[in-house]
A and B are shown apart, each in its own frame.
Chain A
Amino acid sequence: MTNNPEYFKAERDQEWRVALRSQIKNKERTSRERVKMPEQDPNIRNKNSLEVNLGLTEEQAVSEAQRCIDCPNPTCITGCPVGINIPKFIKYIEARDFLSAAKTLKETNSLPAVCGRVCPQEVQCEAQCFYTQKLKKPAVAIGHLERFAADFERNSGKISIPEIAERNNIKVAVIGSGPGGLAAAGDLVKMGYSVTVFEALHEIGGVLKYGIPEFRLPNDIVDVEINNLRKMGVEFITNFVVGKTSSFEDLKAKGYVAFFTASGAGLPRFMNIPGENYVGIFSSNEYLTRVNLMGAAKADYDTPVLFGKNVAVIGGGNTAMDSVRTAKRLGAERAMIVYRRSLDEMPARIEEIHHAQEEGIEFMNLNSPVEYFADESGRVNRMRLQKMELGEPDSSGRRRPVPLTSSEYDVDVDMVVVSVGVSPNPLIPSAVDGLNITKWGTIHVNPDNMQSNISDLFAGGDIVRGGATVILAMGDGRNAAAGIHAYIQQTLVN
């Protein structure tokens, strides 16, 4: 494997890295300001679906790469769920060998252009950066640099395909084509397995396609990464619901010897308050799927979506930000976040909150809806909010919101998007007899190798975590691929 300290040290001791380190004094490196990501103007971007972040220029990237002092003990790597050799790829950027930088990313990450855009680096690699930890200065912009290298490679037309071990003709099934499934498929195919990814929807990509909007992650970029996996030999089957279209037993009969389930979190949660089923009240999954996957806002697509003037999005996570910013782009005059705690407790990435604020999103914090009202056609036209204050910390460590009595007031709305989390989809858990399920309905696995109590069934991502991030799902996928490899070697090959 490529994630042990000896490997990192040997790589760091290579001549070109040693030479690069001596070119600029550390004092000069650390005196520079962190690069600022160029962005579309907020008042222009809140009316289009183009990417908010424009990407670094070559000069900006090289200059930012020079800030990295190539630490002897690169703590940043410990913050990366997929263990990217971060200093190595950054030093390649400093050396202007951008294609090698991209190749380094792909040693451990099959979707670098995606991760460079949507990973919460500020709580992962960048939180462990020497700058953050010791200098108390803004971290090296690892995420921006990752995106730069991946974009450079894609635009160069010289996309490298990772080395593939000799095909062993052992069939492994991956269930779900979101980030967890794609990461597992990439690693398994590299090891020589015949990998088939089964997807329930008509498109590959899972949440990367239906969930995350174009302005944060264009679908074209996801497609490029998927096509790379195809070139590596991964087979994709759409419109196939494992447990419905075929059972696990059917697939075993077709020669599949191990399964990785990354079927996602599935069921959207609602608040079960009066009026929540009125027309114009969506789950964030439905709203985003209509717009992102089904093209509902475009004139030549058949799927409809409602356009609200006064849109309230309930919740404070990244999905809530995606929903409210989508509504703004689709013409909402008032696009509001209604969140029961304060800005400090919001689970969304700071970058997304800032972007939303710049785009004119209203934040109604310390508020929670208690009831909805509708006109005679059943379309929501008003919501009743209750004010909250923060009490003692709860089990999550965040201060618990406590309702203020007699604080209700009404706000006009013609569309509401409920984005208060998801529950695991019971489809897979209920399709396997004897599978160990937690009380939350997630699949119980050994965290070391993602193996469930059914020895040939591994699982990861939201079906195990109940609602996490793209990169954690990918980390699970990589873990599971290693676990499946070990399992197959033990049980079948020997």
Chain B
Amino acid sequence: MNKIIDKVNFSENVVKLVIEAPDIAQKRKAGHFVIVKIGEKGERIPLTISQADPEKGTITLVIQKVGVTSHKVCNLNPGDLITDVVGPLGQATHIHNSGTILCAGGGVGIAPLLPIVEAMKKAGNRIVTVLAARNKELIILEDQIRAYSDEVIIMTDDGSHGNKGLVTHGMEEVIKREKVNEAIAIGPAIMMKFASLLTKKYNIPTVASLNTIMVDGTGMCGACRVTVGDKTKFVCVDGPEFDAHQVDFDELLLRLGAYKNEEKQAYEQYLETLN
């Protein structure tokens, strides 16, 4: 049982939770995730750790309401307990100095991008970050990202904040004007797919952080398998970060939709119980 210490509502559907987890806060590095389960009959879902405070013994998660479990997590309040939190899981981000790094974050993907931007900046890189979302409300953690970026470009679908357009527009603008040594993309699978196609065109090595369906999160079940190059990898133990140009995003998108119908039905039923 892990206690919720603080909660911030970024928007109607996006919430930041600060959770008591002293062991995880000690060990966690950029790129790590936790598995969270709500209630005895709950589902296990992976969530990437956004920030941690080893002294206070807390970790920060940013969650978007997309289904039953994420909705339940978002509805928790300070003082409430999360039934199960386990981690830190996965491989940490390989932090190194490569020159200029183009970081692209989409929607709640901005949260797991934050610790990477911070670590990469501290490693001496020039950081240009492109944040993208449907609208202004969904651009989160902008100030924190700015604190560790040399430049931040904001892209919104409706133009309500920054420039109007997709994440790839912002990225291409940077690539065309300066030498980019490396790129990192975190966000919805479809966003990472197009970010990856773009950087491939310009031969820029790119890392994507994948958020797949998982059960145990320790390599036991293989629900998270993904094709990278011509090999099957497990996102939970081999990832979550991979060479984006090698990832089969089409397969990833199909696998993410494995329970689309079941999830939709369950979510509708759950929402009815809230009324």
Given the interface contacts A270-B232, A277-B227, A279-B258, does A294 sit within 8 Å of B222 by beta carbon?
Answer: no
8 A Cβ contacts from B22-52 to A: 23-24, 27, 37-39, 41-44
Given the interface contacts A277-B227, A294-B44, A301-B41, does A241 sit within 8 Å of B87 by beta carbon?
Answer: yes
- Secondary structure at the A interface, as helix, strand, loop or mixed, is loop
Residues A279 and B87 in contact, CB atoms below 8 Å apart: no
Cα A246 to Cα B28 in complex, Å, equals 10
Residues B215 and A306 in contact, CB atoms below 8 Å apart: no
Residues A425 and B219 in contact, CB atoms below 8 Å apart: yes
Cα A306 to Cα B258 in complex, Å, equals 9
Residues A200 and B216 in contact, CB atoms below 8 Å apart: yes
Residues A377 and B257 in contact, CB atoms below 8 Å apart: yes
**Contact stretch, chosen from B98-106, B108-116, B259-267:** B259-267
Chain A residues within 8 Å of chain B by Cβ, number: 43
Binary interface profile of A, 242-256, with partner B (CB < 8 Å = 1, else 0)? 001111000000000
Give chain A residues whose Cβ lies under 8 Å from the Cβ of B41: 295, 298, 300-302
- Secondary structure at the B interface, as helix, strand, loop or mixed, is mixed
Chain B residues within 8 Å of chain A by Cβ, number: 42
Residues A268 and B255 in contact, CB atoms below 8 Å apart: no
Cα A201 to Cα B221 in complex, Å, equals 12
Residues A378 and B86 in contact, CB atoms below 8 Å apart: no
Give chain A residues whose Cβ lies under 8 Å from the Cβ of B44: 202, 294, 303
- Which of these, B23, B218, B227, contacts A246 with CB under 8 Å? B23
B92 shortest CB reach to chain A, Å:
11
Give chain B residues whose Cβ lies under 8 Å from the Cβ of A378: 251, 254-255, 257-258
B224 closest partner in A (C-beta): A286
Give chain A residues whose Cβ lies under 8 Å from the Cβ of B257: 279, 377-378
8 A Cβ contacts from B228-243 to A: 232, 234, 237
Cα A239 to Cα B86 in complex, Å, equals 5
B260 closest partner in A (C-beta): A377
Does A329 touch B at the CB level, under 8 Å? no
Residues A289 and B215 in contact, CB atoms below 8 Å apart: yes
Does B223 touch A at the CB level, under 8 Å? yes
- Which of these, B84, B222, B266, contacts A286 with CB under 8 Å? B222
B240 shortest CB reach to chain A, Å:
14
Does B225 touch A at the CB level, under 8 Å? yes
Cα A240 to Cα B89 in complex, Å, equals 11
- Which of these, B69, B216, B232, contacts A277 with CB under 8 Å? B232
8 A Cβ contacts from A213-272 to B: 238-241, 244-247, 264, 266-268, 270, 272
Does A360 touch B at the CB level, under 8 Å? no
Cα A247 to Cα B88 in complex, Å, equals 12
Give chain B residues whose Cβ lies under 8 Å from the Cβ of A239: 84-86
Does B220 touch A at the CB level, under 8 Å? yes
B226 closest partner in A (C-beta): A277
Does B68 touch A at the CB level, under 8 Å? yes
Give chain A residues whose Cβ lies under 8 Å from the Cβ of B97: none
Give chain B residues whose Cβ lies under 8 Å from the Cβ of A282: 222-223
Give chain A residues whose Cβ lies under 8 Å from the Cβ of B9: none
Residues B88 and A244 in contact, CB atoms below 8 Å apart: yes
- Which of these, B24, B87, B222, contacts A268 with CB under 8 Å? B222
Does B11 touch A at the CB level, under 8 Å? no
Cα A270 to Cα B234 in complex, Å, equals 12
- Which of these, B43, B84, B89, contacts A302 with CB under 8 Å? B43
B273 shortest CB reach to chain A, Å:
11
Given the interface contacts A294-B44, A303-B43, does A279 sit within 8 Å of B254 by beta carbon?
Answer: yes
Give chain A residues whose Cβ lies under 8 Å from the Cβ of B218: 200, 241, 266, 425, 427
Cα A244 to Cα B27 in complex, Å, equals 7
Give chain A residues whose Cβ lies under 8 Å from the Cβ of B258: 279-280, 306, 378
8 A Cβ contacts from A189-212 to B: 200-202, 210
Does B83 touch A at the CB level, under 8 Å? yes
B120 shortest CB reach to chain A, Å:
23
Residues B219 and A266 in contact, CB atoms below 8 Å apart: yes
14 contacts between A and B (CB under 8 A): A200-B218, A202-B44, A202-B83, A202-B84, A239-B86, A240-B23, A244-B27, A246-B23, A286-B215, A290-B215, A301-B43, A304-B43, A378-B257, A426-B219
- 20 new A-B contacts at CB < 8 Å, known A247-B27, A277-B232: A202-B86, A241-B86, A244-B89, A245-B23, A246-B23, A277-B225, A277-B251, A279-B255, A285-B222, A286-B223, A289-B221, A294-B44, A298-B41, A301-B41, A302-B42, A303-B44, A304-B43, A304-B262, A306-B259, A425-B218
**B interface vs A, CB < 8 Å?**
23-24, 27, 37-39, 41-44, 68-69, 83-89, 215-216, 218-223, 225-227, 232, 234, 237, 251, 254-255, 257-259, 262-263, 266
